[in-house]
Amino acid sequence: MDYILNAIQQLWFILQVTTDYCIDISPQLWEGTKLTLGLFTITLLLSIPFGLLLALLRLSRIKFISFLVNAYIWLMRGTPLMLQIFFIYFALPMLGIRFDSFSTAVIAFTLNYAAYFAEIFRAGIQGVNKGQYEAAKTLGMSYSQTMWRIVLPQMVKKILPPLSNETITLIKDTSLVYVLALQDLMRIAYQLVKRDFDLSPFFIAAVFYLAMTLILTMLYQKLEKYYARYDD
């Protein structure tokens, strides 16, 4: 009986120590989370409109423009994001073009994710019934009016699931900025693990990432429900 009580007391002590330690390092991890969220937000704000522009150019009737955009998308999607980060940070300075670590991350993530979003937007645009174009033409609408008033609003509902997947992937991919020595969530967690010889920071970092992805998932689910009201 005494052995069981001692074991319970030891477990309770370990739990208290671990809890106190997690509470103590949480502010440091939150600082890293703010950088992660900042990179995520800026990338999203830049890559979505850029991706939409690429999608429209990809569908251009001018074959040369369509070819160039298609080649760009193929290049960005066909090479690792890590390699693109290295190229911007290490190769461009050889040409006299230099960026700081955070700017490098923003540029690399924006260029990469714009290519993925472009393909999502392209599929969504092409998924709109061609009868919509003909109806708009009958009403005397120009191509730009047709796209902004008819096609793009219908496209949004179609692209929400794949857009949700890419957005969630983006929040996780931000951990790649670790190679640029940016103090993001993942890097701070790793530094704490090395300093304290304790794996708890990794578990707390996982909780932070899960919380962020949960919020994004709930947001997209609400958007899908909102647009589902117009199905019938």
Joined together, the tokens standing for residue 3 give 């052995």
Distance CA 220, CA 215 (A): 9
d(C-alpha 36, C-alpha 39), whole Å: 5
**What's the confidence (pLDDT) of residue 5?**
64
Distance, CA of 152 to CA of 48 (rounded, Å): 13
Per-residue pLDDT at 9: 63
pLDDT number for residue 122: 92
Task: Tell which residue, 21, 23, 36, has the closest CA to residue 187.
Answer: 36
List strand residue ranges (DSSP E) for the chain, in order: none
Rounded to 10 degrees, what is the CA torsion of 192, 196, 197, 199? -50
User: What is the model's pTM?
Assistant: 0.88
80 token code pair: 């690792």
Q: What is the DSSP letter of 178?
A: G
Is residue 182 within 8 Å of residue 31, measured between CB atoms?
no
Distances (CA, A) of 207 to 13, 64, 180, 199, 216: 23, 47, 23, 13, 14
Structure tokens at 11: 């477990």
pLDDT per residue of the chain (232 residues) written in tens, 0 to 9: 666 766 666 666 566 767 778 889 989 999 999 999 999 999 999 999 999 999 999 988 899 999 999 999 999 999 999 999 999 999 999 989 999 999 999 999 999 999 999 999 999 888 877 777 777 777 777 777 777 777 777 888 889 989 999 999 999 999 999 889 899 999 999 999 999 888 889 999 999 999 999 999 999 999 888 877 655 5
* Crossing angle of the two packed helices 63-78 and 101-126, in degrees rounded to 10: 120
CA–CA dist 160, 25 (Å, integer): 36
Overall size of the chain counted in residues: 232
Q: Say what the pLDDT of residue 3 is.
A: 64
Q: Chain-centre distance of CA 87, in angstroms? A: 20
CB 28 within 8 A of CB 192: yes
- Structure-token pair, residue 156: 């949004």
